[in-house]
Structure 1
Amino acid sequence: MKQYKAIFFDLDHTLWDFESNSRIAISELFVTHNLQNTGIPSAQEFIKIYKVVNAIMWDEYHRNLISKEHLRYGRFERALANFGVQKRELAELLSVEYLQICPVKTLLFPGALSVLEQLKQKHSLHIITNGFKEVQYLKIKNSGLMPYFDHIHISEEIGFKKPEPDIFNYACKQARAVAEECIMIGDNLETDIAGARNANVDHIFFNPDKIEHNANVDLEISHLEELIPVFIK
């Protein structure tokens, strides 16, 4: 693979282990608010539904169909409704507390810090994320990621979201590089991979669960450690 001036990383599901951190946070909320008394069988059952609802609503947000606030409380409202719990106030309370608890969890994908430490020696590293600024900065700071990155690009601050080419163009400009000198690493085939391709930025698909797909990707990895031989010769 050619030499790159800048490496762009997605945050959630790529470096920061969203699924594990979210599962811990929701399990804590399930106990704190005695959700089992509302008729929800278990934290595991609630998390299973929440995961599906959250993915659907993030897709709606990416397509500008819903607002930030609707996403935040709506995912809990819809998840609760799946169990016949129609309590808007409870959904809003869970939303507020979830955003206080989850971002301070610190689980990263295996090898994340050691890989970043090695890549940082010869490359300019950047994060491009569609998350919300107050939440994403907490994740980055608390998990020890901040020192490795020259720039943190958060869609809410920039005004563009992945997969829009403008957010990649902005990141390239901040890296003082042209698109052909940059590469994007992420887990989402639409926002990260198709988005990068449409901006003429090379990409690596991070697929830790080895999901089957028919997408045409430049390179695919399932462990972050696989990046070392790609970038360090």
Structure 2
Amino acid sequence: MSNTIKHIFFDLDHTLWDFDKNSGLTFEKIFDIHHIDVGLKDFLNVYEPINFQYWKLYREEKVTKAELRYGRLKDAFDKIGVSISNELIHVLSEDYITYLSSFNHVFDGTHDVLNYLSKKYELHIITNGFEEAQENKMKASNLKQYFATITNSEMVGVKKPNPKIFNFALDLANARAENSIMIGDNLEADIQGAIDVGIDAIHFDYSNTNKTNKFKQITHLARLKELF
């Protein structure tokens, strides 16, 4: 990797923090609390692609935060044919955010890699996640200690891949694009978004299902120790 790099920007969910695993455990907990008799695996198989699509709409300013939180649950229950009251969906939506950060699984090698990189570079976070949730996740999983700055979309008023959030993060970090690199899982939001403002990028294909020759790519975080 270029020896001009001084700043490494990371996405949080699906890059360092194991969102799918923690989310599944959260649903297991809140379904138990509210005595919802739904097969967890069946629910998650339907919910995960719906959630992915809602986040895309959220990035594109086509749904609000409230619409995302409600709609992803309502659509998932509808799709598996389970009738849930609107009142309970709103309660589940709140409980999901409350309990999500009580689970703190990170991807294999996360702490080792961040400990290694933080000795050589300034590390930063750029995330589209909700401010209160991201703060709690980073504290609970002991990640906050590694990062000099944390930029989230609610601070800036726009979401990745909007150039404004990357430029805001660069200013906050007192960094320049040519001395920076972005690491994230989303090809559109993280990788193309960074490249469009002149920041180099590495795609973390954690599921090893998005093989591309268009961008630099890794399938395990430990590979970063070899690259840097």
Distance (Å, rounded) in 2 between the aligned partners of 1:91 and 1:206: 33
Contact 1:74 1:91 in 2 (8 A): no
Q: CA RMSD in A?
A: 1.2
State the match for 1:69 in structure 2.
Answer: 66
**What secondary structure does 1:35 align onto?**
coil
**What secondary structure does 2:126 align onto?**
strand
Distance (Å, rounded) in 2 between the aligned partners of 1:89 and 1:75: 15
Deviation at 1:221, TM superposition (A): 0.5
Question: Can you give the 5+ residue segments of structure 2 that lack an aligned partner in the other structure?
Answer: none
Distance (Å, rounded) in 2 between the aligned partners of 1:86 and 1:136: 28
Structure 1 residues 161 and 215 mapped into 2: Cα distance closer, same or farther (>3 Å)?
A: farther
Q: Is the aligned partner of 1:15 residue 2:16?
A: yes
State the match for 1:50 in structure 2.
Answer: 47
Contact 1:9 1:185 in 2 (8 A): yes
Deviation at 1:83, TM superposition (A): 2.6
Distance (Å, rounded) in 1 between the aligned partners of 2:213 and 2:34: 42
Q: Is the aligned partner of 1:221 residue 2:218?
A: yes
Which is further off, 10-19 or 169-178?
Answer: 169-178
Contact 2:9 2:126 in 1 (8 A): yes
Identity between Structure 1 and Structure 2 (%): 42
Matched letter for residue 139 of structure 1:
K
State the match for 1:114 in structure 2.
Answer: 112
Which of 210, 217, 222 does residue 208 from structure 2 map onto? 210
Contact 1:117 1:148 in 2 (8 A): yes
Deviations 1:34-93 (A, max 9, x none): 222xxx4x1111111111211111111011100011111211111111133252111111
TM-score, normalization by structure 2: 0.96
**What secondary structure does 1:118 align onto?**
helix
Question: Can you give the 5+ residue segments of structure 1 that lack an aligned partner in the other structure?
Answer: none
Contact 1:50 1:79 in 2 (8 A): yes
Distance (Å, rounded) in 2 between the aligned partners of 1:187 and 1:198: 16
Deviation at 1:96, TM superposition (A): 0.7
Contact 2:26 2:96 in 1 (8 A): yes
State the match for 1:2 in structure 2.
Answer: 2
State the match for 2:88 in structure 1.
Answer: 90
Matched letter for residue 126 of structure 2:
I
Contact 2:46 2:80 in 1 (8 A): no
